[in-house]
């Protein structure tokens, strides 16, 4: 896989060494058991796979290259480069301005942009409408386009489904930049509809089977469907794609549920004419990170810490998995670890920050499951480990423990 040129301050010698060792010993990723770092009074289970993915490193490399190549020009990002505050803050401190927020609300009006400005397309991609607007201004959106190749793969899948006269069902979060971009690209090829979860899918299934009237479609999906969407005809032939950072098991449940609805309506003999049995369109990093988190769930840990941006979809799903077994703390960096007794963390269900007391149990040996999202720098995970180690006495030296884990 390509090696990217990203700033050294995002990397970690500790985490980097662990990842390199696992890659060498298990290149095909057959083993998702975590790496154990045992410091004596505290032990960390480090997920087999986490942190920067291909798409994120590609986006960071292009963004910093844009800064280097255009020292005398105004440089803008359509919205957050990735969902990590440390990365976005650093880019802003270097002079990059955001045109809009993650939900598409405008900070800088289009009429303030000039043809010689630089505009970076974030890793999530953007809509065809925004691309057209930039072209009208005289800005080429492809010059610094950091759209993840795995997002573009979903667009190609949608295009193929549209060419085969399928309606496209997107499993995603309506306001997420990637889902908005995918919807825009899909919409030009076929009728398109977004479902957020299995509950909404069940409503859609009942509409397909005639158990609910068309008025229910208007109630639940009208603002999430393409213009002119006709549930009476546009739900006769469907295919499922997804936002690449969704929970894999939920996407499979949604596809299976809709497949079964079409089976009930049209019968086994006609199923292929009404349901495209598409392969899951999640990116490799989302799959690997989730599989590695399942590996963490097999461990006997006292708590889990998940590090990443609070608006990061892929990170929130790792939190969702960890919560099935452990008290789980979702933090953006080591700065949220306030002391050995207090931690500030996000409740991803309510999107509220809270402070929890006594998160570290009072026992002779504390075990912590640790992972991070695909947009979190390894250096932040490294800092989290060091911050927690500072609360314990008699810990083994970091270099010694890492060396033991690698040999």
Q: Are 162 and 240 a contacting pair, CB within 8 Å? A: no
Residue 29's SS3 state is coil
Domains of the chain: 8-53+284-406 (3.40.1010.20), 54-137 (3.40.50.11270), 150-276 (3.40.1010.20)
pTM for this model (two decimals): 0.88
CA-nearest of 370, 368, 372, 373 to 391 is 368
Task: Return mean pLDDT, the chain.
Answer: 93
Strand 97-98 and strand 75-77: the pairing is parallel
With 80 as the cut, is the pLDDT of residue 292 above it?
yes
With 70 as the cut, is the pLDDT of residue 282 above it?
no
Q: For the chain, first and last CA: distance in Å?
A: 25
Mean pLDDT check: name the lowest of 187-191, 205-209, 283-287, 297-301: 283-287
What pLDDT is attached to residue 6? 87
Say how far apart CA 136 and CA 139 lie, in whole Å: 7
With 70 as the cut, is the pLDDT of residue 369 above it?
yes
With 70 as the cut, is the pLDDT of residue 68 above it?
yes
With 90 as the cut, is the pLDDT of residue 328 above it?
yes
With 90 as the cut, is the pLDDT of residue 281 above it?
no
Question: Phi/psi class of residue 125: alpha, beta or left (left: φ > 0; alpha: ψ in -120 to 50)?
Answer: left
Say how far apart CA 374 and CA 376 lie, in whole Å: 6
Say how far apart CA 223 and CA 242 lie, in whole Å: 18
Residues 6+ apart with CB under 8 A from 37: 43, 44, 46, 385, 401, 402, 405
Q: Tokens 């990059």 appear where?
A: 96
Mean pLDDT of 270-281: 85
With 90 as the cut, is the pLDDT of residue 190 above it?
yes
Mean pLDDT of 294-312: 96
User: What DSSP string describes 131-176?
Assistant: HHHHHHHT--TTTTB---HHHHHHHHHHHHHHHTT-EEEEES-TTS
Establish how many alpha carbons lie within 13 A of residue 391's alpha carbon, considering only the half-sphere containing its beta carbon. 21
pLDDT per residue as tens digits for the range 91-112:
999 999 999 988 888 999 999 9
Establish how many alpha carbons lie within 13 A of residue 133's alpha carbon, considering only the half-sphere containing its beta carbon. 14
Percent of the chain with pLDDT strictly greater than 90: 80
Say how far apart CA 385 and CA 337 lie, in whole Å: 11
Say how far apart CA 217 and CA 215 lie, in whole Å: 5
What confidence category does residue 13 fall into, taking pLDDT thresholds of 50, 70 and 90? confident
Mean pLDDT of 316-326: 96
Say how far apart CA 372 and CA 388 lie, in whole Å: 16
Q: Which tokens in the block code for residue 218?
A: 């208007």
With 70 as the cut, is the pLDDT of residue 66 above it?
yes
Strand 342-347 and strand 352-357: the pairing is antiparallel
Q: Which tokens in the block code for residue 133?
A: 């607007």
Higher pLDDT, 88 or 301: 301
Q: Tokens 């301005």 appear where?
A: 97
Per-residue burial over 38-68, b = 16 or more CB atoms within 10 Å of its CB, e = otherwise: bbebbbbbbbbbbbbbbbbbbbbbbbbebbe
Helix, strand, coil % in the chain, rounded to nearest 5: 45, 15, 40
Q: Tokens 């005289």 appear where?
A: 138
What pLDDT is attached to residue 407? 83
What confidence category does residue 302 fall into, taking pLDDT thresholds of 50, 70 and 90? very high
What pLDDT is attached to residue 391? 97
What pLDDT is attached to residue 83? 79
What pLDDT is attached to residue 358? 97
What pLDDT is attached to residue 241? 93
Percent of the chain with pLDDT strictly greater than 70: 99
pLDDT per residue as tens digits for the range 131-157:
999 999 999 999 999 999 989 999 999
With 90 as the cut, is the pLDDT of residue 36 above it?
yes
Catalytic residues: 178
Say how far apart CA 56 and CA 233 lie, in whole Å: 39
Higher pLDDT, 190 or 3: 190
Say how far apart CA 68 and CA 146 lie, in whole Å: 16
* Signed CA dihedral, 188, 190, 196, 200: sign only: positive
What pLDDT is attached to residue 81? 77
User: What DSSP string describes 57-90?
Assistant: HHHHHHHHHHHHH-TTS-EEESS-SSS-HHHHHH
């Amino acid at each position: 896989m390509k090696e990217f040129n990203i700033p050294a301050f995002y990397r970690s010698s500790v985490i980097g060494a662990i990842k390199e060792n696992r890659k060498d010993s298990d290149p095909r990723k057959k083993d998702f058991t975590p790496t154990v770092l045992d410091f004596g009074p505290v032990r960390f289970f480090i997920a087999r796979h986490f942190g920067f993915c291909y798409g994120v490193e590609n986006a960071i490399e292009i963004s910093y290259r844009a800064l280097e190549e255009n020292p005398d020009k105004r440089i803008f990002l359509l919205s957050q480069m990735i969902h990590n505050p440390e990365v976005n803050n650093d880019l802003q401190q270097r002079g990059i301005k955001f045109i809009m927020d993650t939900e598409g609300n405008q900070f800088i009006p289009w009429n303030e942009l000039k043809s010689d400005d630089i505009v970076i397309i974030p890793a999530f991609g953007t809509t065809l409408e925004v691309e057209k607007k930039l072209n009208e201004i005289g800005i080429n959106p492809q010059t610094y386009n950091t759209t993840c190749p795995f997002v573009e793969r979903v667009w190609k899948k949608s295009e193929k489904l549209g060419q085969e006269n399928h309606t496209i069902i997107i499993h995603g979060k309506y306001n997420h930049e990637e889902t908005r971009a995918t919807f825009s690209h899909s919409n030009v090829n076929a009728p398109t509809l977004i479902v957020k979860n299995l509950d909404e899918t069940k409503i859609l299934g009942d509409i397909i089977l005639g158990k609910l009237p068309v008025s229910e479609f208007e109630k639940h999906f009208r603002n999430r469907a393409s213009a002119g969407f006709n549930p009476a005809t546009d739900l006769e032939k469907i295919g499922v794609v997804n936002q690449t950072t969704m929970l894999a098991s939920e996407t499979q449940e949604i596809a299976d549920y809709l497949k079964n609805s079409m089976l009930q309506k049209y019968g086994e003999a006609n199923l292929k004419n009404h349901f495209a049995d598409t392969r899951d369109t999640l990116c490799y990093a989302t799959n690997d990170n989730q599989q590695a988190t399942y590996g963490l769930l097999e461990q006997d840990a006292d708590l889990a810490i998940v590090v990443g941006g609070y608006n990061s979809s892929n990170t929130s799903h790792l939190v969702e998995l960890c919560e099935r077994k452990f008290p789980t703390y979702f933090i953006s960096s080591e700065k949220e670890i306030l002391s050995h007794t207090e931690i500030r963390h996000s409740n991803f269900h309510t999107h509220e920050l809270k402070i929890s007391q006594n998160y570290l149990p009072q026992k002779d040996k504390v075990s912590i499951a640790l992972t991070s999202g695909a947009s979190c720098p390894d250096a932040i995970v490294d800092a989290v480990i060091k911050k927690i180690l500072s609360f314990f006495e008699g810990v083994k030296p970091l270099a010694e423990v890492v060396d033991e884990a690698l040999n």
